[in-house]
Structure 1
Amino acid sequence: MCFSNRMWGDISFFSIGEGDWMTKKVGFFVNTRKENAPQVVADVSELLKKAGVAPIVADEQAEDLGLKLTGIGTAQMVEDVDMLLVLGGDGTLLSAAHLPKIETVPILAINIGNLGFLTDASLAELKPSLRATLRGDYRIEHRMMLEVFVNSQSPQPFHTFALNDVMIRHYTRLIELNAYIDGELFIPYNADGLIIATPSGSTGYSLSCGGTIVEPQLEAILLTPIAPHSLTVRPFIAHGDAEIKVEMHSTYESLDLFIDGQRETHTLTREAEIKICRAKRTIQLIRSRSHSYYKALREKLMLGERIK
């Protein structure tokens, strides 16, 4: 069942006095392909130990980081820790969003790569940001997620979640789709594909395809066509409690469904029916007091930059 609650996106602000912070365990989720990842993990682990906090790295990543195995898997780590430290970029954070029970643990995301639009701080800001977090000097930003239900014969019916977006497309041809909002036909699409995105995903692939930027505290669902075959088809923003249903009318035997890029990929038969709505679960992002979404838009996406 789709979750419905008409409200603005929730941001929780709170501060805990120094000495009252209850974090005892911090888990790591790392882009182990980054050359500097092992050293960053070692440095942060030492900082945490000095603060009386236990650093935990799951076995799935420990070996790649040159660390001893502890017998703790990623799923168990997420359940055990009080905070998850994500070291990488936006892709690493999106991967973390698909971990089991990730909605139960606050995430501090640090960019140790290139753009890092969704992350809270850069590598240079890592230690000050972590110290502030351990003092309780931060805020929690709840990011909306999508829940996806697929009713099909092949594969079997399934459901999943997305933090950024859901994409339907055929790699080589135009596809025909009918989109319904709350049970009513919205418009038919004849396009390379269709992106259904959250406000968090509005600065991702949706933006590249002409979608608008939506402030992440709003609850909304974006429908952005990919290269539509008509000038009358435009991106659209539905309300956050909308139930989006997509039916495929192409003659091709199958189409592809992508969840948060390629975090999940599914090949669907043309009879498949896809329903997408706001999920009850959210992602808890730890934000420093100085973090500014508008500043990130200006500095990282060059929004409003004059072209000379």
Structure 2
Amino acid sequence: MHNDRVTTRVAVRHLQVLLAEAGILQDQDHPDLVISVGGDGTLISAFHKYQKQLDHVAFAGIHTGHLGFYTDWRNYDMEKLVEALASHPVKEHSVTYPLLAMKVTTSSGIKEYLALNEASIKRVSKTMEAEVSIGGCRFENFRGDGLCVSTPTGSTAYSKSLGGAVIHPRLKALQLTEIASINNLVFRTVGSPIVIAPDEWITIVPKNTDRAVVIVDGERIALTDVMQADYRIAQEEISFYEYGHHHFWDRVNEAFIGDVK
């Protein structure tokens, strides 16, 4: 998959030539490896397109613009990527990271979603009030703009901007972060990010169901009358082509710090 930028289209044409010259077959319907060309948003779109094939597909990202967190290769590194694919099989050189499973209960039924980065629940115009439970035990009564549940890979995305911790993606954990919570003499929340163990789950029950908004990996889901949202680590995992996959903390440094002297 790729975006529509001119530099991206040029890179895609060159990549297709390189793959053909190396004798690597290209299968859009049932691939072993999905190569996204663009940025992190392109890779997330690719993930959702192929999320029903996660048991046998891996991902690799080529970025053609600003530095991407999920994209390990630059457009001028494509020859190295193709050479690696020719000599280092995808199935033998992949690393897996956890995903987020979200189940939303509405008056019309249950909807299930899979997230690579995060899923959040908000209220459109007024303060959201919701009961929050962890592992089946009531935790707090939240008041504020909303709540975000992120994966470890998603901890560097929206969750980080909310003050969440950066979590290594090999850890099977979820993180709950508050979005502009109200904390005063009347209303109190824990006021800090919470990291959830792999055998626990998060339940959010909005008290104003008619105006709750669900957002999964940046995309707003058209739902009405949200009665409950449950979050847990998914049974599915995402696989990335490990050959050439940058060390996690190197990527964090490159994305947020850089070579500051």
TM, length-normalised to structure 1: 0.76
RMSD of aligned alpha carbons: 2.1
Judge conservation of contact 1:96–1:102 (CA < 8 Å) in 2: no
Q: Indicate which of 37, 40, 63 corresponds to 2:8.
A: 37
2:224 aligned with 1:268: yes
**Cα distance change of structure 1 residues 216 and 42 upon mapping to structure 2, 3 Å threshold:** same
Give the aligned partner of residue 15 of structure 1.
Answer: none
Judge conservation of contact 1:168–1:193 (CA < 8 Å) in 2: yes
Give the aligned partner of residue 253 of structure 1.
Answer: 210
More off after superposition, 190-199 vs 37-46: 37-46
Give the aligned partner of residue 14 of structure 1.
Answer: none
Q: Equivalent residues in 2 for 1:21-170 (5 A)?
A: 29-31=1-3, 33-56=4-27, 58=28, 77=29, 79=30, 81-100=31-50, 101-103=52-54, 104-136=56-88, 139-154=93-108, 156-170=109-123
**Cα distance change of structure 1 residues 290 and 184 upon mapping to structure 2, 3 Å threshold:** closer
Deviations 1:216-247 (CA, angstroms, capped at 9, x unpaired): 11011100001111175211111122111110
Question: 3-state DSSP class of the match of 1:55?
Answer: coil
Q: Equivalent residues in 2 for 1:167-206 (5 A)?
A: 167-206=120-159
Give the aligned partner of residue 297 of structure 1.
Answer: 252
Rounded Cα–Cα distance in structure 2 between residues aligned with 1:208 and 1:198: 14
Question: 3-state DSSP class of the match of 2:80?
Answer: helix
**CA shift at 1:289, angstroms?**
4.5
Rounded Cα–Cα distance in structure 2 between residues aligned with 1:290 and 1:216: 13
**CA shift at 1:168, angstroms?**
0.4
**Cα distance change of structure 1 residues 305 and 198 upon mapping to structure 2, 3 Å threshold:** farther
What percentage of aligned pairs have identical amino acids?
Answer: 26
Aligned residues: 252
Judge conservation of contact 1:179–1:188 (CA < 8 Å) in 2: yes
- AA aligned to 1:36 is T
Give the aligned partner of residue 215 of structure 1.
Answer: 168
- AA aligned to 1:43 is H
**CA shift at 1:305, angstroms?**
5.0
Q: Structure 1: any 5+ residue segments left out of the alignment? A: 1-28, 59-76
Rounded Cα–Cα distance in structure 2 between residues aligned with 1:134 and 1:82: 13
**CA shift at 1:166, angstroms?**
0.5
**CA shift at 1:125, angstroms?**
2.0
Question: 3-state DSSP class of the match of 2:169?
Answer: coil
**CA shift at 1:169, angstroms?**
0.6
- AA aligned to 1:55 is Q
**CA shift at 1:185, angstroms?**
0.9
Q: Structure 2: any 5+ residue segments left out of the alignment? A: 185-189
**CA shift at 1:303, angstroms?**
7.1
Deviations 1:164-196 (CA, angstroms, capped at 9, x unpaired): 100101233221111111110122211111000
TM, length-normalised to structure 2: 0.89
Question: 3-state DSSP class of the match of 1:297?
Answer: helix
Judge conservation of contact 1:189–1:233 (CA < 8 Å) in 2: no
Rounded Cα–Cα distance in structure 1 between residues aligned with 2:191 and 2:7: 45
- AA aligned to 1:293 is F
Q: Indicate which of 193, 200, 223 corresponds to 1:235.
A: 193
More off after superposition, 236-245 vs 125-134: 125-134
**Cα distance change of structure 1 residues 82 and 137 upon mapping to structure 2, 3 Å threshold:** closer
Rounded Cα–Cα distance in structure 1 between residues aligned with 2:13 and 2:96: 29
Deviations 1:136-162 (CA, angstroms, capped at 9, x unpaired): 0773121211111112114x3211111
**CA shift at 1:295, angstroms?**
1.2
Rounded Cα–Cα distance in structure 2 between residues aligned with 1:199 and 1:290: 17
- AA aligned to 2:205 is E
